[in-house]
A and B are shown apart, each in its own frame.
Chain A
Amino acid sequence: MGDTVQSTIQIKGIRDGLLITLGEGDWQEQRVACLTGIDEKPTFFQGARVALDVGRNELRVAELSSLRDELSERGISLWAVLSESDLTQRTAQNLGLATRLSKPKLPEFLSPPESEPIGEDTARWVKGPLRSGVKIEFAGSVVVLGDVNPGAEISAGRNVIVWGRLRGVVHAGANGDEAAVVCALELAPTQLRIAGSIATSPREEENTQPEVASLVDGQIVARPWQTV
């Protein structure tokens, strides 16, 4: 029994804590293997931040949240789930978990989504509202149909387009793309970042017209959408 457990899960140290890679196959078996592996060395895992690579397993909210609970009962905080399945990635995002590991070389606030060959020119479509605590990370552009509420975060390798009110934190060009733009029907983000620049919204003014923010001479500038 101990041998099979050893062979199906792999544990390695990464910059952001530990990465546990599960094998392929039945989810319940993988889950048990993972927990058994952890219970063999409880002191090693106590207080750890863990990213989980679940491979091709298709996981729903109930499955992922119960594993997260079981880990948290062992003093382990699950912060990211890596998966090849879109369904699992969406589930992880719904639970507020990251779906990518950050790159080490950029400053802290720049931690971008990993770029992948197909990522650059594709866009992720997200149905709003994005509520407080949700984080969307994607290597290409992100399009949101609905509001982005305060406390929600979007990090995109390229552009961010919000068909609704943008009030959360948004980072366009997270890989350093200075040509990235952020557009919203109502642009009032808590904080807006493009590549390495940061801006906050002016507090007072009520703007009700659609705007686009872009980098002009290293400064983030917002202009009415129609003049673009």
Chain B
Amino acid sequence: MTAKVLTMTSGKGGVGKTTAVANIAVALASLGQKVCCIDGDIGLRNLDVVLGLENRIVYDLVDIVEGRCRLRQAMIRDKRLEELYLIPAAQTRDKTAVSPSDMIRVCDELRSEVDWILIDSPAGIERGFKNAIAPADHVLVMTNPEVSAVRDADRVIGLLEAEQKGPASLIINRLNPDMVKRGDMLSVEDVLDLLAIKLIGIVPEDENVIVASNKGQPLALDPKSRAGQAFTNIARRLMGETVPFLDLDAHNFLDRLLGRK
């Protein structure tokens, strides 16, 4: 196996990177892929909580880098999916505990073990971001349909181009079709127009995402969830399938017809 290393980044905080990494990892694993997530947010770790693996952490990324454990020992196996692993971030250290070359070394060692390595980047464009993108084969840039998030995504895409990281793919998260229709939210076209990179996913706003994150049970496994379905579609597209984008308007029409919110 030679894993493909994907890094999720956004510039701005709070756009949904961690939730997306958890959901895409779950989706890939349930499609039969062997996946390892790495939480790059040292000092502010979250991915373990969203995946519901918080209480099983013994060793973390900094322990691997500083030689206190072997790579295998820090890989936590998921409760539900046999082929899903997490390497958590250290909570008591900061971004300087790891360097970009450490990240490349850890990922190179991990490449032979899994099909996919998903790295969750912290917000910002400083050390943590540089650590997260250093080993990446492909970068996923996430934004929300709002001006400040798109501005930061644009800056990040510029930095990725400057670092010669190849063309990134875009995920637009928390799209609210009703607000777009009223002209109160940027549309997918508005965002693509400015950022001019390839779109790989549109995730509708869905309050179940928050419920699922709090419970540590990613939505991607729930076939009724539109957001979960959107994440599964992203996983399929990553694997090379051509999957049409969800028709979000149809969803609203059906909902209104059935009297759902």
Contact = CB atoms under 8 A, between A and B. Distances in A.
A20 to B, nearest CB: 22
A131 B163 CA distance: 14
A131 B155 contact: yes
B154 A94 contact: no
Contacts of A94: 161-162
B196 A95 contact: no
Contacts of A150: 151, 154, 194
A147 B157 CA distance: 14
A52 B99 CA distance: 24
A129 B192 CA distance: 13
B151 A61 contact: no
A67 B151 CA distance: 27
Interface residues of A, number: 18
A65 interface: yes
Nearest to B153: A132
A119 interface: no
Contact of B158 (A65, A131, A147, A167): A131
Contacts of B152: 132
A26 B145 CA distance: 47
A134 B162 CA distance: 10
Interface in A68-88: 69, 73
Contacts of B127: 69
A69 B130 contact: yes
Closest 10 CB pairs of A and B: A131-B158, A94-B162, A132-B155, A132-B154, A133-B155, A131-B154, A149-B154, A132-B151, A151-B151, A61-B162
B210 interface: no
Contacts of B158: 96, 131-134
Given A95-B162, A133-B158, A134-B158, 19 more contacts: A61-B163, A62-B163, A69-B127, A69-B130, A94-B161, A94-B162, A131-B155, A131-B157, A131-B161, A132-B155, A132-B158, A133-B155, A133-B159, A147-B194, A147-B196, A150-B151, A150-B154, A150-B194, A151-B154
Interface in A32-86: 61-62, 65, 69, 73
